[in-house]
Amino acid sequence: MSESSKDRRRFPRVPLNLLIQYRFDTFEDFISEYASDLSEGGMFIKNDDDDDTHEEGQLVYLQFTLKDGTRLIEGLGKIVRINDQRSGDPGLGIEFLNFDEDSKALIEAIVRERAEG
């Protein structure tokens, strides 16, 4: 019996409905989509586009703000999973690679708060 992807995760995930802006090195403008979950190590971004332009291993620049709009979290991530339309949960699994210490601390606080609540 194979281990599920949930069992292999290093960090617990919490549900999150937050608008994320992201950009690939090939696009000049940011794309906006909603994240459905967050962990200290990454996030899943819902994406209904069924295109072949994204690849696992591709780098992505992420930006998101808190609900009150006061704090911007930004950094570099990598696509580690792509779910197409047939999966029933289309989107991109993103691993966080390079975030400043303030952004990391804020992500940790969000995860901790949601896990406790």
**Can you give the residue range of the structural domain that contains 81?**
5-116
DSSP state of 41: S
Band the pLDDT of 75: cuts 50, 70, 90: very high
How many structural domains comprise the chain? 1
How high is the pLDDT of residue 9?
63
Distance between CA atoms of 87 and 100, rounded to whole angstroms? 33
DSSP state of 40: S
Report which of 78, 38, 72, 31 is spatially closest to residue 57, judged by C-alpha positions: 78
Looking at residue 37, which CATH number applies to its domain? Answer: 2.40.10.220
pLDDT, greater one: 69 or 52:
69
How high is the pLDDT of residue 51?
61
The position carrying tokens 């289309």 is 90
Average pLDDT score over residue span 42-64: 85
Average pLDDT score over residue span 80-88: 86
How high is the pLDDT of residue 2?
38
